[in-house]
Amino acid sequence: WGGALNWQDLVVLAITYTLTGLGITVGFHRLFTHRSFKTSRPVRALLAVLGSMAIEGSVNDWVATHRKHHNHSDAPGDPHSPHLDPAPGWRGVLRGLGHAHVGWMFRGKDKANPVRYAKDLVADHDLALISRTFPLWVAVGLAVPFGLGLALTGSIVGGLTAMLWGGLVRVFILHHLTYSINSICHVFGRRRFATTDESRNVFWLALPTFGEAWHNNHHAFPTSARHGL
């Protein structure tokens, strides 16, 4: 404290986490994947940029993979189901959780083709451009916390520590909370609705994921903009 971490770093972490987290849940998930609501062209573009700054993949790739997940939820073809490992008992559960959390990203066959699963986004000129320029938004996602830290502290060192916490640490936290929806929320928690998959509500994950952990609710009503019901 006072060296590699200061109050300015926590402010930048909170700002960038909130903005990019909303870019994922409101933009990538509820708007672009499930078309739960409509909004203006500038807001669509802003949400696509904020979601891209979360560094979870381009908007077209993210949406395609998530639509494939809903089409085959916890069945063969699901990119990140924790329930398809053939190993028995707890060994299978742990391997399934590992696959659902991060393992699937290292297997190319689990990723979805946007031309098949996100044709509407591929045909949208704004989203196609934002998707193609994904590396630019990765850089912006790291430059913004540096700029905020520089503005708050007036020093290069303050900008660098803000980029560490509001950039790299923020990405780490947001990624693993997002991955927890794929893993934890398909194994542990409450099944409020009798869906055809193993999606579950996990109350303690709901707040840091902006409602995403009401996952059984979401699978029961995927086009509802409000997951908490």
Provide the pLDDT for residue 91: 85
* Rounded average pLDDT over 141-158: 95
Residue type, 97: L
| Rounded Cα distance, 162 and 179, in Å | 24
pLDDT above 80 for 107: no
Query: What are the pLDDT digits (tens) for 8-59?
Result: 999 999 999 999 999 999 999 999 999 999 999 999 999 999 999 999 999 9
Element (H, E) at 62: helix 59-71
Dihedral of the CA atoms 224, 29, 184, 109 (nearest 10)?
130
Residues 181, 215: contact at Cβ < 8 Å?
yes
More confident residue, 3 or 182: 182
- Per-residue CA distances from 191 to 66, 69, 83 (Å): 20, 18, 16
- Mean pLDDT in residue range 77-98: 88
Q: What pLDDT band is residue 71 in, cutting at 50, 70 and 90?
A: very high
In 75-201, which ranges are continuous DSSP H helix? Answer: 89-101, 114-117, 119-122, 125-132, 134-153, 156-163, 170-182
* pTM, full prediction: 0.92
What pLDDT score was predicted for residue 67? Answer: 96
pLDDT at 131: 96
